[in-house]
Amino acid sequence: MAISNSLSNSSDQPIKSPELSLGGWGRWIWKQLTSMRTALLLLLMLAVAAVPGSVFPQRSADPNGVAQYFDKNPALAKALDAVQLFDVYTSVWFSAIYILLFVSLIGCVLPRTAVHAKALQSPPVPTPKLLTRMPAHLKVSAKNLSTDEFLASAKTLLKKQGYRVAADENSVSAERGYLRETGNLVFHLSLIGVLIAVGIGGGLSFSGQRVIVEGETFVNNLAGYDSFSPGTFFTEEKLIPFSVSLDKFEVDFDISNPTNIGTPLDFRAYVSSRTQVEGESKSAVIRVNQPLELPGANLYLTGNGYAPQITIRDKAGNITYSGAIPFLPQSSDYTSLGVIKVPDAEKQFGIIAFFYPTVDELTTGALTSIYPAPYDPLLTMNVYVGDLGLDDGLPKNVYALDTAEMTQVAGGKSGVKGLRLTVGQTVDLPDGLGTATFDGLKRFASLDVSYNPGGLWVLIFALLSLAGVTTSLMVPRRRVWVRKVDGGFEVAALARGDDLSLDKVVAEIAAALNPAKATPSESNG
Amino acid sequence: MNQIALNEGLSQISLFFIYGAMAVYTLAFLGFASHLARLSSEKAAKSGSASKLERVGISLMILAVILHGTGVMLRGIAASRVPWANMYEFSITGSLVVVMIFLFALIIKDLRLLATFVSGFTLLILGAATSIFYVEVKSLMPALQSYWLVIHVMVAVLATAFFNIAAALSITYLFKTAKWVETSKVKFVGTLRRILALFPSIEKLERMAYRFNIIGFILWSFTLIAGAIWAERAWHRYWGWDTKEVWTFIIWTIYAGYLHANATRGWSGKRSAWLSLVGFLAILFNFTIVNLYFKGLHVYSGL
């Protein structure tokens, strides 16, 4: 299509001086870009371009998925990464499409706004000569009509129906549905608003994650976060200094309905927050759909699990490690995996531990959890001796233990059985490493702390655009003409856009204007 | 400790009603299909026996929708919440809405010839729901415990139903305008041609598809916005390109393209009908493949 257009255009405009031709090209490109067909093609391209983002893991939504992809298929992952398939929605090609789309939109909507503003101020177009050519037309015979009276009554009727009306000596011209175009323009302009609000809001936003065990306190500064992703315009001074303590975390699991046993019914994080260091603390409950709104950020509950309290002592009975360690749930029964690193012992060692809230032994001897609440909790430990890799100062994942350079001394094929502990129990560690005690059980909550000042504006513009598009699709826009002719009158109508009821409209107007019973003598439409 | 009561017995009864509805939909479908077959074979466009078959079909459909509606309601009561929290429930509720909109539309517009489509499609959806998607009645996971479940999902169901009927109209349009249907000498195509001749004119089909699609588009836009508001409450961000969000966006964009196509010379008619169909295929894809196989936060199939 573009080709045929370019051919016809170039035949209209023979090549002149280089400057003019350059301008001509510019105008031609602009005209193409702002045409409806281009907008349509860009929309379809945008739809297609969005697909790979649902097929490949995205860094923004699923960073772990991307890491796994790199582990499994390093060569392929590298190739995909080169064309930004792990960052589709910030990629050059995706951005190019939507930027072009918005340029096209602006180029189309601004001139239309001007045209519409002018149309709003000018009277309806004069009545065309041949009303019979209109898609809906009706001729009514009526005798002894006074032209002036007839036109006056037509004017009143159409005005009452919401038409804008103009009259000449023998006809009335009327138009209604200006809101249709207004809605259309509001829709498109609001989409620009959405885009700007998304952009600026995203730049000013930040979000961070923090795992917090019962009894712990989170303080809102960068050191308080486990991970943090700031927007482009973020500075640390923007963090409002509040603190939040997790007093208690509760979970309800279904225990009464046979088909639903173990399904979580409710998660509740009981917190107390302080917005000033000396200030009073306020209690609140955070639930999954019920974030805590604090000045400068909202706190969301995004995950939870068990944090067994463990104490490690050396041979002499000195404590080398003590704390409640968040264990990551591996399945819906809350079988959980945790890592303990003991760097300050005589010999460095690490423990990979499993936690079973309600333990059961399978016939194979493997352990499993049969219910997610801690009715019969058990902790098992595999112990590894060797360099923990913490001394070279590189940040390490606290939830993983790299055992490649370590020697297993308990569990697995080490010849020593894995250690098993119930709450309150103390066991000896192999290799003279000392003892481990399972002191008690706490829970942890994963909190997301998030701030995005653009959200409200995005919503306002989105709702405006929804109102706009609804108006533009629902309000019929049409022109109606009524003309007094010899021996009767004519009514005709023309719809702009889709209007199924045009004939009905014409018939109703004709009937209302007819002093006698309507006797249409001729109609088409 | 909060606990809930699920009524397993009632959900079994609900399933019986759904099976019953399927049986009656089957009868209605057979009625409509043989009505079409008879209309296409008889010389006289409309004969008494044919329209009688159609009337029986419509009555059966009304009976089926009552059974279907009872089944959906009982499922909701059994779970003591709205009956659209997993794929099975979304399917039975969504198809109910399609049939209800169709029956209401019948009062305003003569769409009776579409009844074969609608009853057949509903039967397919219910078949898939009871055989592939079926899950026992379950409680709502905490992420779904929000009044947005009522608003967001209900409007999505409604939008899907409107798009569904529009897609049926577009398919008819495409068959009616297809060259091979017009010229083929194969006997089966000849029958198809005669059946298609009974449907409204292509202009009318196109306009009706457009009407259904614009309502669908408005509802879908609302679904998208409501989803974003909910996501802001539940997941701390209003938009995060989760796979389901991606597909909601893709579908929105396709239908936005469809609306533009209707105002673009060379794109109205066949091409826009194809877009209407592609849009609905994207919806089906979003509902089946994305739900079952794509990784994301909307993992509510219950399978």
- Listed residue (B75, B30, B109) closest to A501, CA to CA: B109
In the predicted structure, residue A14 carries a pLDDT above the cut 50: no
Give per-residue pLDDT as tens, A49-79.
999 999 999 998 888 889 999 999 999 999 9
Better-predicted residue by pLDDT, A497 or A390? A390
- Which of the four pLDDT bands, split at 50, 70 and 90, describes residue A432? confident
Helix axes A63-72, A74-82, angle to 10 degrees: 130
d(CA A472, CA A467): 9
- Residues of chain B found within 8 Å of residue A302, distances taken between Cβ atoms: 235-236
| H/E segment holding residue A107 | helix A92-121
Instruction: Please give the full DSSP string across B253-299, using - where no structure is assigned.
Output: HHHHHHHHHTTSTTTTTHHHHHHHHHHHHHHHHIIIIIHHHS-SS--
Find the radius of gyration of the CA atoms of chain B. 20
pLDDT, mean over chain A: 88
Q: Are A504 and A510 in contact (CB under 8 A)?
A: no
Tell me what pLDDT residue B2 has.
Answer: 73
d(CA A123, CA A489): 22
DSSP three-state, residue A16: coil
Q: Are B83 and B137 in contact (CB under 8 A)?
A: no
- Listed residue (B195, B170, B134) closest to B281, CA to CA: B170
- Which of the four pLDDT bands, split at 50, 70 and 90, describes residue B252? very high
Mean pLDDT, range A298-325, rounded to an integer: 94
β A282-286/A297-313 pair status: unpaired
Name the residue of chain A whose CA is nearest to B4's CA. A254
Q: Do A288 and B234 touch (CB under 8 A)?
A: yes
Give the number of other Cβ atoms within 10 Å of residue A17's Cβ: 8
Query: How many contacts does A have with B, using Cβ atoms within 8 A?
Result: 157
CA–chain centroid gap for B113, Å, is 17
In the predicted structure, residue A99 carries a pLDDT above the cut 90: yes
CA distance B256 to chain A (A): 7
What is the fold of A131-172+476-524? TATA-Binding Protein (3.30.310)
- Which of the four pLDDT bands, split at 50, 70 and 90, describes residue B43? low
The predicted complex's ipTM stands at 0.90
Give per-residue pLDDT as tens, A334-378.
999 999 999 888 888 999 999 999 999 988 888 999 999 999 999
Q: Which of residues 3-42 of B touch A (CB under 8 A)?
A: 3-6, 8
Q: Who among B8, B211, B295 is closest to A65 (CB)?
A: B295
- Which of the four pLDDT bands, split at 50, 70 and 90, describes residue B302? low
Give per-residue pLDDT as tens, B124-143.
999 999 999 999 888 888 88
Tell me what pLDDT residue A10 has.
Answer: 38
Instruction: Please give the full DSSP string across B136-175, using - where no structure is assigned.
Output: ---PPPGGG-SHHIIIIIHHHHHHHHHHHHHHHHHHHHHH
Q: Are B213 and B251 in contact (CB under 8 A)?
A: no
Mean pLDDT, range A201-228, rounded to an integer: 93
- Residues of chain B found within 8 Å of residue A256, distances taken between Cβ atoms: 3-5
CA distance A265 to chain B (A): 6
Query: Could you state, in order of their start, the residue ranges of all structural domains in chain B?
Result: 1-83+112-139, 141-303
Give per-residue pLDDT as tens, A231-267.
999 988 889 989 999 999 999 999 888 888 888 999 9
- Listed residue (A437, A388, A428) closest to A410, CA to CA: A428
Q: Are B154 and B86 in contact (CB under 8 A)?
A: no
- Listed residue (A137, A30, A86) closest to A510, CA to CA: A137
- Residues of chain A found within 8 Å of residue B6, distances taken between Cβ atoms: 257, 259-260
Tell me what pLDDT residue A354 has.
Answer: 95
Mean pLDDT, range A179-183, rounded to an integer: 93
Q: Which of residues 230-269 of B touch A (CB under 8 A)?
A: 230, 232-243, 246-247, 249-250, 253-254, 256-257, 259-264, 266-267
Q: Which two tokens stand for residue B170?
A: 């577009």
d(CA A268, CA A281): 18
pLDDT above 70: percentage of residues in chain B: 95
Tell me, yes or no, if B217 comes closer than 8 A to chain A by beta carbon.
Answer: yes
Q: Who among A43, A62, A465 is closest to B260 (CB)?
A: A43
In the predicted structure, residue A292 carries a pLDDT above the cut 70: yes
Q: Are A134 and A494 in contact (CB under 8 A)?
A: yes
- Residues of chain A found within 8 Å of residue B210, distances taken between Cβ atoms: 498
Mean pLDDT, range B44-70, rounded to an integer: 82
* Global pTM value: 0.88
- Listed residue (B88, B48, B92, B87) closest to B68, CA to CA: B92
d(CA B40, CA B47): 11
Buried b (16+ CB within 10 A) or exposed e, A124-151: beebeeebeebebbbbbbbeebeeeebb
Q: Which two tokens stand for residue B72?
A: 């959906």
